[in-house]
């Protein structure tokens, strides 16, 4: 598998998690080994934080296994808007 970039990871998350907003930050200085992501998806509706993390981890299992660090925050569209975000 090719090395992940912030853009390629964003595309994967958008397609696999039906995300309406994805923010990806490469925390490794460009080498693709550590990412922090914010995901806004209707698939998170009715799921607690642990269930959301499991959904993301299962959807990106191969990609996450190939990197050193992956942190995530997941929101439903309503939660994102309620905290001042826009879609």
pLDDT in tens, 14-54: 999 999 999 999 999 878 899 999 999 999 999 999 999 99
The structure's pTM equals 0.92
The pLDDT-based confidence of 2 (bands split at 50, 70, 90) is low
Q: Structural domain of residue 37, as residue ranges?
A: 6-82
Asked if residue 38 belongs to a domain, the reply is yes
Asked if residue 64 belongs to a domain, the reply is yes
76: tokens are: 């439903």
Can you tell me which residue has the tokens 């460009």?
30
Asked if residue 74 belongs to a domain, the reply is yes
Asked if residue 1 belongs to a domain, the reply is no
pLDDT in tens, 50-86: 999 999 999 999 999 989 999 999 999 999 999 999 9
Can you tell me which residue has the tokens 């569209």?
77
Can you tell me which residue has the tokens 């299962």?
58
Query: Can you tell me the distance from the alpha carbon of 4 to that of 67, in angstroms, rounded to the nearest whole number?
Result: 8
Number of domains in the chain: 1
CATH number at residue 64: 3.30.300.90
């Amino acid at each position: 598998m090719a090395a992940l970039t912030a853009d390629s990871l964003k595309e994967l998350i958008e397609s696999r998690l039906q995300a309406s907003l994805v923010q990806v930050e490469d925390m490794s200085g460009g080498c693709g080994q550590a990412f922090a992501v914010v995901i806004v998806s209707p698939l998170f509706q009715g799921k607690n934080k642990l269930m959301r993390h499991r959904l993301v981890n299962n959807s990106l299992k191969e990609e996450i296994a190939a990197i050193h660090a992956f942190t995530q925050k997941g929101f439903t569209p309503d939660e994102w808007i309620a905290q001042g975000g826009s879609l």
